[in-house]
Amino acid sequence: MYCRKSLKRFFDHEEVFEITRQGFAFYEDHFGQPYPFGKYDQLFVPEYNSGAMENVGCVTFNESQVFRDPPTDTQRLVRAEVVLHELAHMWFGNLVTMKWWDGLWLNESFATYISFLAMSEATRFQDGWENFLGTIKTWAYREDQKPTTHPISGVVKDTDETFLNFDGITYGKGAAVLKQLRAAIGGEAFRDGLRLYFDRHAWGNTTIEDFLAPLGEASGKDLDSWAASWLETSGVNVLRPEIGANGVELRQDPDAADARLRPHRVDVSLFTGDDALSATRTWALDIDGASTPLAGDVPGTSRLLWANHGDHAYARVFLDDASLACVQERLSDVDDPLVRMGLWGTLWEMLRDGAIPPAEFIALAARFLPRESKPEILETNLRLSGVALARYAAPAKRAALGSTLFEAACNALTATETGCDRQLIWGRAIPPFIASKSDATTFLGWLDDAAPGALPVDQGLRWRILQKASAFGLADVAARLDIESERDPSHRGKKARFAADTSWPDADRKRGLFERFADPDDSADLLKAGMAS
């Protein structure tokens, strides 16, 4: 394992070694194949233009995975997933390789899915599926609703088209569909099918048919129609419970751009209770039509019907009116964290559809997130709150809504133990909430005075505070930036300073910097930092 000498003091390499060892043990057992190469090196390198690359026996990682500031447990979880993802490629991608680029999903969908499975079953990160739902599937749903969506296994005419498919469909949707397939055929059949696949195709090249055939043999199921519905089409269906004169039914609606209904393996659960909302009844369903009845009655109020318990289905899940009213009042009472993450996802999809205004999503975040105990749910939805503010809220309302989030965050910092994971998450979530010069001035003051709750203002947060101050053109920022550059002369510091400079609200300065962005001899790593500011 290698990193730059200057980063050695920050590198918690023992944790990376532990995750790697656990990944080796899980994959060798699950795939029925020993590690196929003579060595395995992991290099954390500077100015790397992607997250990681699975070179045979020598994986390169972006050195941002070496944490200079105290990491949250979610950051460690995300790094563990990247380590396991690249390790999985030694089997899926290197031992067995796709025949052509239309099989890219055989590499990336599978490595994404199996890394989360390995993480949840073989490491201390037992909350991986919450992160998967809040990040990977959210990414997939967004990409699958765009005009640029495409089938998981599509036609790639030449290598120029290949790079169009490194996206949320190939990584996210493909992984989510594999999760659904495993739920449908069973974990043992899925594992046994993978072992057959590697036995037959080690050191060879494969197609979609080569992958599905052993899974079908192990499960005793014909997967051709499943593949046609899921791998060769695009779009995402909607699932929602409906209460009518004939009782309760689960409705499936087609994607707006595709009239196709698809097969789903879903668990629909009823949550009730005075203190906690717990699953008191579950309907296990295999559906493929527009309507599926649910036997029995459900209460009219103070209950939640959730149509994707366990998060096996790849579908946008919406709520009946009574369930939505329950969530708006009692979201924190739902005792299953994966369901809570799913409910936040539903609220997010409702915002994107225009069914609820950004102000309502932000108000719910300010109300319920201070009570959230799971860091993955907290971090994901604080991030989405910032996106709601920046991309969906009307410009005239952003300052007030940003202040609502900033105030909620400051109160949470004060109410939380100094330096703990939750406090770090709240503190680092704040920069996107700063939407007024007044709040930017208060935020800048954290460099001089104690932050709320004695939050440790680490170097990364110091730069983000200064970037916000620069974006609002606050006085004496230039002098402060010079001081901060002396304090942090690292490559990360240079990128952060450049991002602050490009944020300054001056058209002439931005025009000059724009010309620099077109210079092919400048550092792409540095320029990307400025473009993102």
Q: Enumerate the active-site residues.
A: 86
> How far is 328 from 177, CA to CA, in rounded Å?
30
Report strand pairing: 204-206 vs 264-272: unpaired
Report strand pairing: 316-317 vs 238-244: parallel
> How far is 397 from 59, CA to CA, in rounded Å?
46
Among residues 384, 456, 447, which one has the least CA distance to residue 418? 456
Residue 159, number of CB atoms within 10 A of its CB = 9
Contact 231, 152 (CB under 8 A): yes
> How far is 183 from 337, CA to CA, in rounded Å?
19
Q: Tokens 């009307």 sit at which residue?
A: 394
> How far is 378 from 381, CA to CA, in rounded Å?
6
Structure tokens, 118 = 């390995």
> How far is 431 from 344, CA to CA, in rounded Å?
21
Is residue 295 helix, strand or coil?
A: coil
Is residue 469 helix, strand or coil?
A: helix
Sign of the torsion formed by the C-alpha atoms of 474, 458, 341 and 303: negative
Contact 500, 485 (CB under 8 A): no
- Distance separating the N- and C-terminal Cα atoms of the chain: 32
Contact 12, 67 (CB under 8 A): yes
Structure tokens, 170 = 């190939």
| DSSP 8-state code for residue 464 | H
**CA gyration radius for the chain?**
24
Which residues are 45's β-sheet partners? 62
Q: Which residues contact 303 (CB under 8 A, 6 or more apart)?
A: 270, 271, 272, 277, 322, 323, 326
Sign of the torsion formed by the C-alpha atoms of 89, 92, 95 and 99: negative
Among residues 70, 128, 144, 32, which one has the least CA distance to residue 423? 70
